[in-house]
Structure 1
Amino acid sequence: MFKDFKDELICTGGKLAIMGGTFDPIHLGHLVTAEAARVQYGFDHVIFVPSGQPPHKDRKDITAPAHRYVMTILATMNNPYFHVSSFEVERKCPSYTIDTVKFFHEQYGDKAELFFITGADAMQEILTWKSVPELLDTCQFIAAARAGCCFQALENVTKELGPAGKERIHFFATPEIDISSTVIRRHLKEKKSIKYLVPETVEHYIYNQHLYGCNGK
């Protein structure tokens, strides 16, 4: 069902960013954030990793991994710097960040500098994550939030992590794109348009597959 990620990317060095998320569905805000981070930090590749079984979310509320994986491919296919990995969606057990980071480190760690892009709100919970010292030793983190967002809570967390937190976690102010997957799902449930919120290819896929309770346009 899933294309082997190793066939999609031959990494010869440089900076490689992992962007994990549920992507339920992936939307323009995700893409704008990834592209802005790529440019600002000089990433050579950005790998989108749709989650399989997120350990901190109710699986009943999440669309099947196969659909989220396909939508992510459709959304990113026109950007040569973007790639999609099926690593997490193929796993039969809960997906922890450390497992994903270790996978890519084993694949490319000796060739590329690894980064992980995630929301600043998620990063505030890093003290509860699995194997935090190993995580910070293996990759750096880009904590993304909209411009004007108060990073004070996250700064307090990084202080608790000591020098590694300060050196390995970077704050990134994203462009002002007020779109969320929650809003998109609500629009679909209420029969509202999602045009210009998601890529056209993703919009067509959602309607054709009758996802999120919709029965076509």
Structure 2
Amino acid sequence: MASKSTPHIDPKGEEIAETILLPGDPLRAKFIAETYFDNPRCFNEVRGMYGFTGTYRGHKISVMGTGMGIPSISLYSYELIHFFDVKNLIRVGSCGTIQDGIDLYDVVIAQGASTDSNYLTQFGVPGTYAPLSSYRLLEQAKRIADEHGQRCHVGNVLSSDIFYNDDPDALGKWAKMGILAVEMESAGLFANAAAAGVDALGIFTVSDIIFAGKHTTPDERQTAFTKMVEIALELA
């Protein structure tokens, strides 16, 4: 049964849809709702982490910011899953690629999420757990991207706890293992979803080519971000 509120989410009677988009930035959540939703209604403002519910092409959908890093998205995704009955959680954000052949503005769809985080130890798995996305959502997202003519790549990403790494060789080691890009949240989201038996996916716009030192501007990121969001919205 859905909860009325938690310490971090207080909908004040507003509904949270079974499908939710999860950008890190709460202001991006607000932008998505105001740009794409019909009749958006704010369901959360606790700690400035905005959440909205509306409809997109007649389908009910929500969006909510999660903050940065595995601890933050894991807290919000746990509450959304276990207290508000959310079934499909789609992370949308930016990433930095560490592979040749992936360009700025390309879309990366995370099939799996490796990590340097200690978050997964809580599940007590007697080995190394590999967090994967929902194949159902992944297959649909790839089809939608192809229909939109959006250049995209599907594979393993790195959900790192470290933005400024003291080890200059760390990312090269991950690149050697075929990691497509680096972000900071998906492994926690995928693990929470798997443990609860619900679906999760990560879709990213490439904002940086890390080894080449190429970066997008904030304005350019906003334009590229909308293409990724439109793919995610179609999953509703």
TM-score (norm 1): 0.35
Greater fraction of residues in strand: 2
- TM-score using structure 2 length: 0.33
